[in-house]
Chains A and B, each alone.
Chain A
């Protein structure tokens, strides 16, 4: 028996129930073992968060700039080209609430931190924030030690595979089974081989790209805008109290996306940026969204994400901004 008799004696199980219990244990033990193996494999798989976390732990006392934002920022800023020691915490679908958790909770480990590169993209203020049970919170907790759950964490919050089985299953099958993961991360966790995307598939043919259908945000939501703007002010108040220089940036868009933007969303975002610039002394803007002069079709993966070549140029603009601040 798997259950000692002495323990069972305090319960009132019948023989039939005990047989059933044994049946269940036999059935579920392989499931639990398989899960533990998966969790171990996931922890040991090289994903960008792991590399960024490692870099964060090893270089936190030297870092002067941290990048925060969504996938657009993740693909646009390569700390390898930054003229100050930098780390890029931006990741896909990361909103300002996650940015703020990361900033607040990692701040104490960055004694030399001077600059925050914060993305306020076209869609940032009109997309709802994730809830506290957002799956990436497990990643932030595991790799950055950041608690985004808004409560005390439990052992369950550290289980990576369980946080998003689909995402990690895809990662594992791509990496170990099909071996099609082409990612090539530098020591900063930036993927230097991130060229695959619709633009590459279309051979950077501008005529084809002009016909390409793509996802864009056009839905307006004033209540979300009000909430997100208030949240942005909270972040900026915090940076002011911490004497941090904030570079609010927008990353370049390809011209088809520029044309497709909703003018109301754009107007609201731009007016907020203007107000912020006037209100806060520690804010400066790096507005590259409309820059079609320096960024050509070959700098993009898709309509609103830069490839590593575009990232090199964008990081150059960040450097120029840093120079202007000094």
Chain B
């Protein structure tokens, strides 16, 4: 069930009515409603993968309890590693097995099928990377004694499968989300209205910006050999806005939907095109993923040797490569991660002995407000890696861009209406950059008729100018 589908338009109000109708004092019943709704939401894609979610939830629930109940540190480690083995094993089999087998076969010049391992014909369960990371964080946090394990199975199942963020995040830490299932939820009309406004804003970003950008991007990337330098740069810039509109739109809808049920989810995007560097970019883009990798990969590698330059370089390289690999089993994603790592290292690490001489710490000669202009080309270059189907295509695109081939057909790619909508997006987000989203707490500033006119305009824009329905890009991850 897609957030931008008719089915969800029916599913959400019905679930919401039942949820609040049972009364806020009956937490168990409300959680049971959420669990059934979440499994229904997920099962409508492919009911077979429900077993996988339930299995993952049970493994981590019991692993968490076992870790907490065991006093022997070695036993705790065994329970933790068992949980990690399960989670990473499932992830590896569904997402990475074919990639590694094929690359291995290629490396040793073995034809597929003749080799002792053959590739598997498996569908990648939607949202696998998201909920696996969420459940892993629970067991690790219990092991590290950052949180107490829950003894309420229902709440834990809800935490893993909470439908607003189940298939594409935000990836929540157990310490943030799980306690919310234990507490009674209050119906606050202002929060609910904000939730609805955030859903509306998310739908605008997804359906008007991302889906329209997709038309041009798909056309150009389907056959990049037909396009000149400017057209390829233009399409790559649009791809940035496509993926931003798509994923941040999804996050807005998820956060807004959670608000309707009285839950608070983490912010996942913070106007990333205003980033003043690549490091800053990753603190504004898919914030919950960056936070996850920082907490569970980057900092554990560095440990106490924060001043060790070598360790920091290694930590950045490993973390960003894994972030790249998290996005998909393809060399383009690995290279994408490595490119981010190299840029971050260049920004953050001292050039000499003096740490303050690094680009990142040195007072920039470029005025602060111009920094995003210098960062954006690097982000767009990374987008080319992200969007390309193969390394060959990456090579073709970069070669054509830097050959400065004329772009006679660029006029066919320019769509004034779409560019105007893009302007609305960027202008409103930049202007309202200190708020969670541009329509945030609108009732504090505008009267009801004006607000309703704004909402209706957005609804008309969505209906009238929505692009062809595209899947959310991050579902594949």
Chain B interface, DSSP helix/strand/loop, else mixed: helix
Contact B466 A12 (CB under 8 A): no
Q: How far is the CA of A18 from the CA of B23 in the complex (A)?
A: 13
Asked whether A27 and B452 contact (CB < 8 A) given A16-B189, A162-B6, the answer is yes
Pick from A14, A16, A166, A216 the residue with the most CB of B within 10 Å.
Answer: A166
Contact A166–B226 (Cβ < 8 Å): no
Closest to A162 in B: B6
Closest to B464 in A: A169
Contact B7 A156 (CB under 8 A): yes
Asked if A14 and B187 make an inter-chain contact with CB atoms under 8 angstroms apart, the answer reads yes
Taking a contact as CB atoms under 8 Å apart, the answer to whether A156 and B6 are in contact is yes
Q: Are A166 and B187 in contact (CB under 8 A)?
A: no
Q: Which residues from 211 to 251 on chain A have a C-beta closer than 8 Å to any C-beta of chain B?
A: 213, 215-219
Name the A residues within 8 Å of B222 (CB-CB).
Answer: 219
Rounded to whole angstroms, the CA-CA distance of A135 and B456 in the bound complex is 25
* Cα A156 to Cα B219 with chains together (Å): 30
B370, CB-defined interface residue at 8 Å: no
B175 within 8 A of A: no
Encode contact with B along A2-18: 1 for CB under 8 Å, 0 otherwise.
Answer: 00000000011110110
Residues of B within 8 A of A (CB-CB), count: 29
CB 8 Å contact bits of A154-177 with B (1 = contact, 0 = none): 001001001011100100000000
Size bin of chain A's contact surface = 20 to 34
Please tell me if B15 contacts chain A, counting CB pairs below 8 Å: no
- Is A112 close to B, CB under 8 A? no
Contact of B466 among A17, A30, A165, A217 (CB under 8 A): A165
Cβ of B92 under 8 Å from chain A? no
- CB of B468 closer than 8 Å to a CB of A: yes
Decide yes or no whether B408 CB sits under 8 A from chain A. Answer: yes
CB distance from A136 to the nearest CB of B (A): 11
Q: In angstroms, how far is the closest chain A Cβ from the Cβ of B19?
A: 11
Instruction: Judge whether A31 is part of the interface by a CB distance below 8 angstroms.
Output: yes
A-B pairs, top 9 by smallest CB distance, nearest first, are A12-B23, A11-B21, A213-B409, A169-B464, A20-B189, A165-B463, A156-B6, A17-B187, A165-B466
A-B contact pairs, 28 of them (CB 8 A): A11-B17, A11-B21, A12-B22, A12-B23, A14-B187, A16-B187, A16-B189, A17-B20, A19-B189, A20-B189, A27-B452, A156-B6, A156-B7, A162-B6, A164-B468, A165-B464, A165-B466, A166-B466, A169-B465, A213-B226, A213-B412, A215-B219, A215-B226, A216-B226, A217-B223, A218-B223, A218-B225, A218-B226
Q: Report A's interface with B, CB cutoff 8 A.
A: 11-14, 16-17, 19-20, 27, 30-31, 135, 156, 159, 162, 164-166, 169, 213, 215-219
Known pairs A165-B464, A166-B468 / 19 extra A-B pairs, C-beta < 8 Å: A12-B21, A12-B22, A16-B187, A17-B187, A19-B189, A20-B187, A27-B455, A30-B456, A31-B456, A135-B469, A156-B7, A159-B6, A164-B468, A166-B466, A169-B463, A169-B464, A213-B412, A215-B223, A219-B223
